[in-house]
Structure 1
Amino acid sequence: MTGGEPIGRRVQSRIYRNGALGVPMATPRSPDGLERAARRRMSARAFAYVAGSAGAERTARANIEAFDRWQIVPRMLRDVGERDTSVEIFGRRHPTPFLLSPIGVQELAHPEADVATARAAAATGVPMVFSSQASRPMEECAAVMGDAARWFQLYWSSDDDVVVSFLERAEACGCEALVVTLDTHVLGWRPRDLDRAFLPFAHGMGIAQYTSDPAFMRLAAARADKTDPNAPRPRPTLAAIRTLLAMSRRHPGRFSDNLRSPMPRAAVETFLDVFSRSTLTWDDLGFLREHTTLPIVLKGIQDPHDAVRAVDAGVDGIVVSNHGGRQVDGAIGSLTVLPEIVARVGGALPVFFDSGVRTGADAFKALALGATAIGIGRPYMYGLALDGAAGVEAVVDHFAAELDLTMALAGASRVGDIDAGFLRHR
């Protein structure tokens, strides 16, 4: 970070000082240790949902392997006594080149869910991208962030009124960019979830943006009104009763009222109907331009031709991402295509990156290959599971500290100095 003691030294000193005083570490520093600790803390199905990927999980492995193929070549005798890890994005200066990527159903990790993550984002100065599949409404998250940066991720619903309402709410609660996720208009084949027959949304989890939205709730109410209370129902199973209790507990309003109301079930069924749209084309982007003034960022770009199409369409940024390997099994690692995409867009728009980033050194490599900023995904969810907001903050600090130290040891004093000259491909 700019000014004062570099964050790498500051975080290291705090860790070693606490160690000398016998203060326990709630959040492990190594990526494998962090994941193992979170696995012990989370339920089996919660961890499976967060950690799992599509099919045989070859894309998730390809993401890691893509980083392994690039090696950092440190440069000596460069003045790196003062280091600047800040970046400017859409006219705002941020202390580090990190974003908290949108992750849904954060209640699987911690009861405070997205609100805890929002507090950590505000404390670290890292923009949080609110998920459409949040466990807490965007307004609740914005309320704890002050003037800290936040963006909104849109899953493009099949109902236009819901889309417009989400856009209006995102602007009203101070979001500074719109991130449109393109690669999840249907769910990928995820065996870890399928083996458990567990889809959190079917239990009323991760739909708080919808049940807090007036346009969506009008749809749900219309569905509930068509429910025939006298229609024969199958004999309830224990699992069905538990699901009903879960829906009623998460739905807005009093739990006792929800138990007697058709609305919780109607909301879940309506969500499953309108969640996504597989008919979108490039021509539909004009609809967003008509209904928001926010910068539009397209997430899920993997092909250089699509990156060029995005430039031609006039969007404001792209995210090179394969959803952390969660959608298409056997897809290309995102870092593999990053250099070509950066070259093809030629600086016409910022190129953000996520998928497979596990350390600050990984972030250094992605920045060297042309990324403007780096999205942190699963690691902060693991931190959330271990220690709530403090766990997320710790994970962000560890990423920032390792990036700062990598810059110092490699010979880069500013993020803008990091380029492909620091890397060799093997």
Structure 2
Amino acid sequence: MEFKLRMSKQQVIDKARTMVAFARSLGCQDVEFSPEDAGRSDREFLYQILGEVIKAGATTLNIPDTVGITMPSEFGKLIADIKANTPGVENVIISTHCQNDLGLSTANTIEGARAGARQLEVTINGIGERAGNASLEEVVMALKCGGHIFNNLFTGINTRHIYLTSRMVEEYSGLQLQPHKALVGANAFAHESGIHQDGMLKHKGTYEIISPEDIGLEGSNEAGIVLGKLSGRHAMRKRLEELGYELKDDQVESLFWRFKAVAEQKKRITDADLRALVSDEVFQAEPIWKLDDLQVTCGTLGLSTATVKLVGDDGSAHIACSVGTGPVDSAYKAVDLIVKEPATLLEYSMIAVTEGIDAIATTRVVIRGDTDQTSTHALTGESVQRTFSGTGAGMDVVVSSVKAYIAAINKMLSFK
């Protein structure tokens, strides 16, 4: 209050009371009040201001560990003390919002729930400011596994959707998961140690506290079917269903021909390959432009050149050629010549979804239009220039890159 708000305690109370009442006057039936840095606040003042906003109409009290400094035992006691000392607290919901600066956000959130909080603010994959927020998947599964000591607290979340949701957020946000991220990281259910492998072979419960299927991570292919160039639609569709995808017939048909094209170049199609193809073929914005053909020439003997053929939503074909500093740069410039909508490339990243030289590459780009594509900031009301992301997948890294760029452009054009 002294350094940021530059307000006295009474001024802060008056402002909080006024803003809560204003929110209620707009017809909001559930108004949440959150006192920043509650863990380091003066307790008596905290109880006082919470009691005042309850009288003004607040229905949820969100208690944040804003800088992630509070220890789990401290945070649990904070929630318990608020329940015991805040006037009118029996009529509201207590919520938690824990940051992960010291890696304690999940533990603090659990302690908050044990002490009486009944709304837990979490994020998928723990993404958030600085070191992130409490991770939804960690909190949910900790409550599920520790029900015997958490008084059977229940979230109501279908945990079998956790894995696919995590992957969706990873793809859309462009924030790659560390391999050892709890529950959803690539190594979460991997066992390399010989002693561990021996124990797993004898009984999985030796080293697996939960089954991978509990969070929607696909199990082994029960039929023993290996997907390859001789596989048919039925086999592909069956595996997609096992992976959690429910696709329409036309989507399966479209995906099948992409599947066959990749299978011609790879001996075996993995689950990671299938997920990349689904993302690239099915979960894309309605295309205004679609890549038809691409040819690039690059190397150390001269400028890289690219020839691009795009098909518009009216079925018309457009071809352009350009040079650039590399194959991706020249291809992007050729696309710009066709689309004629200036854009600035802000981010570009690529990962291989599997091991090996024949891996499918997934590319993600973020662009910003050079024209007036703006939106209003939800908190400040300021006008901000929008950005648009796109993803693409393919065994050719340049093709993957161009698909991602076109996907972002399609989003940008659709926004107009």
TM range (shorter): under 0.3
Query: Structure 1 or 2: larger strand share?
Result: 2
Tell me: higher relative CO, structure 1 or 2? Use CA pairs within 8 A at least 6 residues apart: 1
* TM-score relative to the length of structure 1: 0.26
* TM-score relative to the length of structure 2: 0.26
Which protein is bigger by CA-based radius of gyration? 2
Query: Structure 1 or 2: larger helix share?
Result: 1
